């Protein structure tokens, strides 16, 4: 599964304003609410409950908040960019800039893990992260992901 099989232009936020975890999650879920059949508040609650188990701020400026929903029948992927960085309680205690939001059906552990692994591999590439940070338009984000995702 390629990232662009599930990431759509409508779920990309290229200028996140929040500086804290809850605010970032609020902004990331806003464009996906209609796709989930779940309220904004419920989505944030699911993601915050997952964060209590351990931060999805994996370090290196990356956050991959994720959660499972009973109401979903397909994977939903969102992307967010925080130019100033946010306190996402990252493992390295540094600001987080690049976010991928992953929402999956409760019974799709395999797909969930495959997409998380693919994202993690891509995000180890410093050039990829740098290109994402410099992007100013949704189309640029999609082009950068398309180009790098082809290599895997």
Tell me which residues are annotated as active site: 66
User: Is there a contact between 86 and 105 (Cβ–Cβ < 8 Å)?
Assistant: no
Question: Can you tell me whether residue 15 is helix, strand or coil?
Answer: coil
Question: Quick one: which of 134, 68, 67, 127 has its CA closest to 97?
Answer: 134
Query: Pseudo-torsion of CA 70, 37, 40, 87, nearest 10°?
Result: 60
Name the helix (H) or strand (E) containing 68: strand 66-69
């Amino acid at each position: 599964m390629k990232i662009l099989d599930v990431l759509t232009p409508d779920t990309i936020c290229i200028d996140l304003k929040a500086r804290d975890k809850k605010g970032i999650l609020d902004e990331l879920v806003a464009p996906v609410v209609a796709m989930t059949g779940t309220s904004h508040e419920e989505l944030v609650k699911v993601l915050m409950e997952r964060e209590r188990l351990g931060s999805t701020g994996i370090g290196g400026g990356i956050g991959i908040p994720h959660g499972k929903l009973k109401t979903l029948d397909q994977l939903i992927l969102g992307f967010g960019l925080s130019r100033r960085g946010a306190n996402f309680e990252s493992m390295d205690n540094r600001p987080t800039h690049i976010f991928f939001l992953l929402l999956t059906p409760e019974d799709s552990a395999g797909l969930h893990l495959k997409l998380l692994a693919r994202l993690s591999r891509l995000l180890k590439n410093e050039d990829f992260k740098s290109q994402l940070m410099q992007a100013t338009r949704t189309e640029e984000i999609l082009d950068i992901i398309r180009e790098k995702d082809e290599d895997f």
